[in-house]
Amino acid sequence: MALDIVCMGEPMLEFNQDPASTDPVLYRKGHGGDTANSAVAAARQGARVGYLTALGTDAFGDDFMALWEREGIDTSRVLRNPDAHTGIYFVTHGAKGHEFSYMRAGSAASRMKPEQVPADYVASAKFLHISGISQAISADACDSVFAAIDAARKAGTKVSYDTNLRLRLWPIERARAVMNATAAMADVLLPSLDDATALTGLEDADAIADFYLKLGAKLVAVKLGPQGSLVASPDWRERVPGRTVKAVDATGAGDTFAGSFLAELARGAEPRAAARYANAAAALSTQGFGAVAPIPRREAVEAFLAS
Ligand SMILES: O=C(O)C(=O)C[C@H](O)[C@H](O)CO
Question: What DSSP string runs through 108-173?
Answer: TGGG--GGGS-HHHHHTEEEEEEEHHHHHT-HHHHHHHHHHHHHHHHHTPEEEEE----TTTS-HH
Helix H, strand E, coil C: the string for 247-269 is: CCCCCCHHHHHHHHHHHHHHCCC
Q: Is the pLDDT reported for residue 1 higher than 80? A: no
Question: What does the DSSP assignment read for 195-262?
Answer: HHHHHHS---HHHHHHHHHHHT-SEEEEE-GGG-EEEE-SS-EEEE-------S--TTHHHHHHHHHH
In a domain, 142, yes or no: yes
Q: What is the mean pLDDT of residues 189-211?
A: 97
The pLDDT value recorded for residue 104 is: 93
In a domain, 307, yes or no: no
Confidence at 197, pLDDT banded by 50, 70, 90: very high
| pLDDT (average), residues 137-151 | 98
- Establish if 161 belongs to a structural domain: yes
Residue 259 predicted with pLDDT over 90: yes
Domain span at 96: 3-302
Query: Residue of the nearest CA to atom 4 in ligand 1?
Result: 33
Residue 59 counted as domain residue: yes
Tell me what pLDDT residue 302 has. 97
Query: Cβ(290) to ligand 1 under 6 A?
Result: no
Query: What's the CATH code of the domain at 165?
Result: 3.40.1190.20
Number of structural domains found in the chain: 1
**CA dist., res. 68 & res. 78, Å (int):** 11
Ligand 1 touching residue 50 (CB < 6 A): no
What is d(CA 266, CA 158) in angstroms, rounded to the nearest whole number?
A: 10
Ligand 1: nearest atom to the Cα of 33: 5
Atom of ligand 1 nearest to the CA of 89: 6
CA of 184 to the centre of ligand 1 (A): 23
Pocket test for ligand 1, best of 40, 64, 100 (most atoms within 8 A of CB): 100
Report yes or no on 109 lying in a domain. yes
Going by alpha carbons, the residue nearest to atom 9 of ligand 1 is: 34
Under the banding of pLDDT at 50, 70 and 90, the label for residue 249 is confident
The helix/strand/coil state of 176 is helix
Q: Residue 289's pLDDT is what?
A: 84
Q: Which of 19-23, 56-60, 141-145 has the lowest mean pLDDT?
A: 19-23
Residue 60 CA to ligand 1 center (angstroms) comes to 16
Q: Count other C-beta atoms under 10 Å from residue 249's C-beta.
A: 22
- Centre of ligand 1 to C-alpha 245, Å, is 22
* Whether pLDDT at 242 is above 80: yes
pLDDT at 274 over 90: yes
